[in-house]
Structure 1
Amino acid sequence: MNLTREVDFGPIRGRGLVAAQSINTEDILFTEDPLICCQFSWNKLYGYKACDHCLRPLESSEENVRRLTNNPTFTLPYSEASFQCNQIVQCPTCLTNYCSQNCLDSAALTYHSVMCMGLIESENENPLKKLDIIWRQFHYPPESGTIFLLVRIAAACLSACIMASSPSLHIVEALKQFISSTSAPTNENTSVLYHQLLGDQFVTRIEQIHNAFVEVLLFLCQKFSHATSCEECIQTLQKAGLNSLLEKHHFTSALCLISRNGQGIATSALSVWVNQAGKIVSTMNEQTSKEFDLFVNRLYEAIDDHVGSFLDNEGVGLYYYQSMLFLIHVHIIIW
C-alpha cells in the first residue's frame, strides 16, 4: 500500500514524499520493509530472541512473558490471542536463527553469505565477535545504533560486486539515494551525530572501533573473494565501492549517514497478545474489561521489576521511504 509519491525538491530540501491522492484520517499512507536492519548488540546478548534478518519475535507471547518476568510458570489467559512463532530456521553453517526459510534465503543472498563465520567461537579467529565486544564496551544500553548495520551494508556491497545477486544489487542501488550527512558537514552537526552513535567519549573511541571494523572488512573480503594478498583485497574493496572505509574520516562519515537515516525498530510478542486480547475483552462486560486492565498493569509491573523498560526486541534499519520524511534534527530526536 502506498498513497504517496516521491518528489525531488532540489539540492537544498532534497527528496520528499507528497500525497498521491486525497487522504482521510487514520489512512495508512504506506507500508514498507527495511532495506536492511540489524538487532542491537546488547539486546541480542541478553537473549531477546528475534529473527536475525527481520527482527520478528522467535518466541511465543507466553515464552516472552516468562523470560521478561523471570517466572517460568507464568500463564497468559486468552491463549488464542497469543503470538506464535511457528518455526525457527537456522543457517546450516553458523546456526543463526531466522523466522522463515524466506528470511534465511533473503539474508544469504543479501549479506549473510559474506558474513557467515561457521562455528568459529574464538574472538581471535572471529573478527566479527571481536568488533562486537569492542562496540559493547563503548555503547551501553539504552542503545541507539549498532556498528553491525554498517558491516551488513559492506557485506551487501561485496555480495553485489562478487555474486551480483538481485537482493544485494537492489540494496546497493537504494543506498545511493540516501542523503549523507557529510555533504559539507558542520563540525557541530558531525559532533552531534557522533554523540548519537558513540556517546560522550567518541573522539577517543573512534580509532579503536575503526581499526576493528577495518579488520572485519579485510577478513570478509579475503574470505568471500578468496583474495591471496592484502593488495587483492583492497582492489576488490575498490570495485565494491568500499575502499574509502579504510580511512577513518570516511568511516566516521558512514556512521553519520547511519545516524541520520536509521530508524529504530522494536518487535514484541507480548504486545501482540495485549492488543489481540484487548480486542477480545472489548466484546465482553465491563467487569471483565476492568479485570483484564488490572492483569495487564500488574504484568507490566512484574516485567519492570525484572528488566525495567527493556521490553522489546530492538534494532535499527534503513527504510527507503521513511528516510524522506524527517529533517536531520528530527532524526536525532526520535532515534
Structure 2
Amino acid sequence: MMAGYEVRITNGKKGKGLFAKKIFNEGDVILEEDPLVSCQFAWNVAYRYLACDHCMKPLETPEHNVRRLAAKPDIALPYADHFEEELMTVTSCDQCRILYCSEDCKEKAKINYHRLLCYDQTDAGHPIHILLEAWKQMHYPPETTNIMLLVRILASIEQHPDPAAAANTVKQFCHRTVNEDAELMHKLLGDQFKDQLATLRDLTASVINEESIQEFLTPEGFCSLMALLGTNGQGIGTSPLAQWVNSVTELAMSDDERQQMDLFIDKLYKDVENEAGQFLNTEGSGLFKLQSACNHSCAPNAESSFPYGNHRIQLKAVKTIMPGDEICISYLDECSLQRSRHSRQKELAENYLFLCDCERCVSESWQPDVTSEEEMSDEEFDTDD
C-alpha cells in the first residue's frame, strides 16, 4: 500500500517536515513505526520497573504493578486474568540475563545493538555501569532521556551491515549549528553539569569506541548527539495499570457497575500517586525516523500515542488533513498549549530554540508579551535576586 505521507524539505529553519499525500479524516491512523532505538530511563529502571529491554513492554501484570506501586499487597484487580498469559513468552539473554518480552525482541536487540553492549549486570566496575551511575547523578527525575539511548545509537551503527549508511541516517536528525547544539546540551544537563560533557564523552568512549563511530566521539560530534537526544527523543510511556483500565473501560457493564468501577479506579490511582509519586509508568524515550520529521504547531492536526503498550508509536489525525498539508504535532503538553502565545513561545524557545510561527501564533500576535498574573510573577521572580 502506498504511504499517504512524505517527508520533504520545508521553508525556513525547520528543515524537514511530514506532509500528507491524501485526505486523512479525524481519527485516521497516519502511520505506525518502531523506533531506530529506544531505552527505559535510568532512574525508572532503578525504581524496579520491569520492562522488555528492547520494546519497553511491561513485564509485570497490572495486579503486581499496582500492588508494588501502592505498597498494598492485598489489592485484587477484577477482570485481570488474561494479563498473566501475556507474560508466558518472557525470555532473557543467554549471557547477561537481561529480560525481553519475547524471542522476537531478544533477536531484534541482538541484531541491532545488544551484541556490543551485553555485559554482566552485577559487575559494578563495568564501563556501562559506571556511565549509568554518572548519568543518574547528572540527570535526576523527572528524566527526559537516557545516555544509554545514545550508546545504543552508536552500537547500532557499528553492528549495521553498512555502518556508513547507518551513520548517515543518524546525521539526518542533526541539522543545527555548533552553538545551538551546545545550548541544547546545556539545557538537557542543566547548568551545574554542563561542564561535565567531556566526562560523559570519555565514559561513553570507554563503553564503545569503534572506528565507524569516531566522528560522534569528537567534542563536536558528541555534543550534537546529545542535542539530538534532547530535541528528537520521543518520550515513551507504558503502564500495566493503564492497559488494565483501558480493557475494563471497554467491558459491558450496568450504570451502577460502571460507577462502582470508576470509583475503584479513582482510588487505585490515588493510592499509587500517594506512594509512588511521579513514578507511575514505565518511562523512556526513543528515536523515530518518520515521527521525528513532524514539526510543531500550537494547533496540531495530529497526535502521537502508544496503543500497543510498547515502543511502537501511532500517529493519528485529530482533524481533517488535506493533500499537501503539513502534518504537525504539539511539542508542548496539553496544559502548556492552553497558555498564552507568549508563554508557549518562551517554552519552545528554551527547549527547542525556535519561535513558533504556526497559524495560531500568527493569529494571536496581537497579544501582549505578558498575558497572565502567573507569567508576571514568574518574571518578577527571575529578576528579584
Tell me the TM-score normalized by structure 1: 0.82
CA deviation string 1:137-164 (max 9, x = no partner): 111111011111110111111212xxx2
Given that residues 186 and 194 in structure 2 are in contact (C-alpha distance below 8 angstroms), is that contact kept between their aligned partners in structure 1? no
Please list the CA deviations of residues 158-217 of structure 1 after superposition, one character each: whole Å capped at 9, or x if unmatched.
212xxx28xx88854532432x15x32445x632x2244212313232232222112222
- Give the letter aligned to residue 150 of structure 1: L
* Matched letter for residue 177 of structure 1: Q
Letter of the structure 1 residue corresponding to residue 24 of structure 2? I
Retained in 2: the 8 A contact 1:66–1:73? Answer: yes
Equivalent in the alignment of 1:107: 109
Q: 2:292 matched to 1:323?
A: yes
Does 1:267 find its partner at 2:238? yes
- CA distance in structure 1 between the partners assigned to 2:64 and 2:165 by the alignment: 36
Is the CA contact 1:50–1:313 (under 8 Å) kept in the aligned structure 2? yes
Summarize the Cα distance change of 1:108–1:45 in structure 2 as closer, same or farther, 3 Å threshold: same
Residue type at the aligned position of 1:38 = C
In the TM superposition, structure 1's runs of 4+ consecutive aligned residues that sit over 6 Å from their partners are none
Partner of 1:75: 76
What residue number does 2:182 align with? 190
> What does the per-residue CA deviation read over 1:37-91, in whole Å, with 9 as the maximum and x for residues that have no partner?
1111010111101110010111111111111111222110122574732321100
Evaluate the alpha carbon distance shift between residue 50 and residue 255 of structure 1 in structure 2; reply closer, same or farther with a 3 A threshold: same
8 Å CA contact 1:57–1:85 kept in 2: the answer is no
Q: 1:306, 1:85 → 2: CA distance? A: 26
In structure 2, the CA distance between the partners of 1:86 and 1:70, relative to structure 1 (3 Å rule), is same
**Structure 1 position 174 matched with structure 2 position 166:** no
CA contact (8 A) 1:123 1:130 kept: yes
Is 1:213 the counterpart of 2:204? The answer is yes
Aligned match of 2:145: 145
Change beyond 3 A, Cα 1:313–1:159: same
Q: 2:52 corresponds to which residue? A: 51
2:307 paired residue number = none
Given the superposition, is the C-alpha separation of residues 291 and 170 from structure 1 closer, same or farther in structure 2, using an over 3 Å criterion? farther
Query: SS state of the match for residue 330, structure 1?
Result: coil
Q: 1:249-286 CA distances to partner (integer Å, 9 max, x unpaired)? A: 32112101121211001111111110110111xx3221
Q: 1:120 to 1:97 in 2, by over 3 A?
A: closer
Q: Which has the higher helix share?
A: 1
- Structure 1: state its 5+ residue gaps: 222-236
Distance (Å, rounded) in 2 between the aligned partners of 1:82 and 1:302? 22
The one-letter code matched in structure 2 to 1:103 is C
Distance 1:169 1:99, change over 3 A: farther
Match of 2:23 in 1: 22
Report the alpha carbon displacement of residue 30 of structure 1 after superposing the two structures with TM.
Answer: 1.1
* Corresponding residue SS for 2:123: coil
Change in Cα spacing, 1:316 to 1:73, as seen in structure 2 (3 Å) is same
Output the CA distance in 2 between the equivalents of 1:170 and 1:57: 33
Change (3 A) 1:212 1:156: same
RMSD: 2.6
Q: Percent identity?
A: 34
> Using the alignment, how far apart are the partners of 1:198 and 1:122 within structure 2?
26
Distance (Å, rounded) in 2 between the aligned partners of 1:97 and 1:107: 11
Q: Give the Cα separation in 1 of the matches to 2:220 and 2:171.
A: 19
Q: Which residue of 2 aligns with 1:300?
A: 269
Alpha carbons of structure 1 residues 144 and 131: separation in structure 2 relative to 1, 3 Å = same
TM-score scaled by length of structure 2: 0.72
Question: Which of 89, 97, 100 pairs up with 1:98?
Answer: 100
Asked if the contact 2:39/2:54 (under 8 Å) is kept, the reply is: yes
**Is the CA contact (8 Å cut-off) linking 1:36 and 1:318 kept in structure 2?**
yes
